[in-house]
Amino acid sequence: MYRWTLHFPPPDGYAPFRERLRGRRWRASRMENHMEVQSIHFPSKILKRSKGRNAVAAAAYRAGEALAFGDVTFDFTRKQNVLATRILVPPPPSASESWQWLDRLQDRATLWTEIERKENRKDAQLAREIEISLPAALSAQAREKLVWDFCQRHFVSAGMVADIALHGPGREGDNRNFHAHVMLTMRELTPDGFGKKHRDWNRNELLDEWKTAWEAACNEALAAEGAAVRMDRRPLAARRQELLDRAEATPDRIEQRRLEIAAERLNYTPRPHLPRTPYRALSRGLPIPDYLGKVDNKPALNKWREDVAAWKAAVQSRVEAEERADAMEAALEAEIAAARLREAEQAKAEEEERASRELQDAQEAAAMALFEGLKHQSFARIRVTAAAMLAYDPDPKWNAANELAQALPGIDLSDPRATHATIGKSVAALRAVEEVFEKDGELDDRHDHMTHSMRGLSTSLRIDGWQTTQRRMAEFLPEWIVRTVRHVVEIVAELIRTEQRATPTPQSKGGDSSAGETKPLPPTPGPRPS
């Protein structure tokens, strides 16, 4: 007896494609809701004796076990990426029947030894093997349950014995490469053992049904775990075309661009299957060996080198597709950022314009509140307005606030309207203010000068409004009067704006109101000298 042992190499230097394969998170397709769509891998092949295959050896390799077949032991116990194994055997057709021989099939060596002995032709088909990619986004427990349940529902329930081995990522290649190897028997089960070949299991339509069912089962498990990944069994070209069709149909330009980017991520050549021998040589940076088999009954020494070249080209095409999509995405994000900046600048300009209009409206209201009707009122009332103005001269040297507080204790100087009303409430109040002013000849002169200047403001306001009036004041009034009048109007305007913000608008109560519309407060009543 001799042992056939597989030795795995240490994970030393990788080929130039290591960085593109190990740890790289390929984005197969990013949809508008950021859901990653991945392809499924569900190839089916037949283990044939004519190709030198042995069912016991294949089962030992996939399970990572040592299985004996006659005088030969196939030992793969050093294989380290086997996560779980299980053999699922169909029950007898009737609960009343007891097929005791089925219990023996739970032993892997017994199961496949019987298959080898049953298949006595030199070109016999020994087993069907399906290699199934497993979603890396699922937890280990969810992956196991997904595989066991699927095999039970679709293979074992149909009468097949399923030998399942779950593999994790190897030390070389993609670290998301979780997959399952499922070896299936091809003969019917009878009370006496394996019967005739079940030809219906070879139908391509059945394989297509399995792929569709696997896609649905994966997506159900992914949704249950809240994973942002979905599986799609359709070819890349079909998935890409669907995205392009959706992009063409959507009216939203940004959404259209995002769909086009997702389609571009799928615009690459699918990576072909690379046999284990050339793949390991590639991954270790070794020369690709000659292919010793034949293609179309002719020697093809360069076949593996051609396979590697095609594999590299496919990998490169995917890298380039990612780079193109990334560039498109960066351009789109820059365009969106620029649009947002323009919107922000436009909003800022509109806000500044609105604030300017609001300020102008408030200043118009303030000027009307202070000067409306001065032309048709008594000289005494005009002197009241002039006296109130002097309390707000920006120049501390000429500011008469202290004099007003001396003449009228308790006067509220925070609001020019209140100051105006307090001085004008009686002849006695105005007289008290003027007596204080008379003690300072220069202040008394400024009061007289301000009084004469007030006469023309009312007429100008009614005809031209405040904005024009304040510009014209500089043409015929002294600079200090213009400065003081503007200062008083600005104070009252800010008070009016504050009052308007604190007052609920009809719109806030449910009524109709034009946005930004403001109404000036009525003028403060002037003095009524007796």
Instruction: Judge whether 355 lies within some domain.
Output: no
Domain count across the chain: 2
Tell me the pLDDT of the chain (530 aa) as tens digits.
Answer: 333 333 333 333 334 444 444 434 444 344 434 678 888 999 999 999 998 999 999 999 999 999 999 899 999 998 888 999 999 999 887 665 667 788 889 999 999 999 999 998 999 999 999 999 999 999 999 999 999 999 999 999 999 999 999 999 877 667 788 999 999 999 998 888 899 999 999 999 999 999 999 999 999 999 999 999 999 999 999 999 999 999 999 999 999 999 999 999 999 998 888 888 998 898 888 999 999 888 888 999 999 999 999 999 999 999 999 999 999 999 999 999 999 999 999 999 999 999 888 888 888 888 887 776 676 668 888 889 899 999 999 999 889 999 999 999 989 999 998 998 899 888 999 999 999 999 988 999 999 999 888 877 777 777 888 888 888 888 888 999 999 999 999 999 999 888 888 876 555 444 444 444 433 333 333 332 33
Residues near 73 by Cβ (< 8 Å), separated by ≥ 6?
Answer: 1, 2, 3, 4, 66, 67
Name the nearest CA neighbour of 2 among 77, 68, 76, 78: 68
Instruction: Judge whether 350 lies within some domain.
Output: no
Q: Where among 204, 233, 262 does a domain terminate?
A: 233
Q: Where among 202, 233, 264 does a domain terminate?
A: 233
Q: Where among 233, 265, 290 does a domain terminate?
A: 233
Instruction: Judge whether 175 lies within some domain.
Output: yes
Residue pointed to by tokens 């030199």: 122
Instruction: Judge whether 229 lies within some domain.
Output: yes
**Cα–Cα distance for residue pair 261/39, rounded to 1 Å:** 18
Residue 303 CB neighbour total at 10 angstroms = 18
Instruction: Judge whether 91 lies within some domain.
Output: yes
Q: What is the CATH number of the domain that holds 196?
A: 3.30.930.30
Instruction: Judge whether 53 lies within some domain.
Output: yes
Structural domain including 207 reads 2-233
Looking at the fold, whether 34 and 175 belong to one and the same domain comes out as yes
Lateral strand order in the sheet of 44-48: 44-48, 125-133, 179-184, 162-167, 82-88
Q: Is the pTM of this model over 0.85?
A: no
Looking at the fold, whether 371 and 229 belong to one and the same domain comes out as no
Instruction: Judge whether 94 lies within some domain.
Output: yes
Instruction: Judge whether 242 lies within some domain.
Output: no
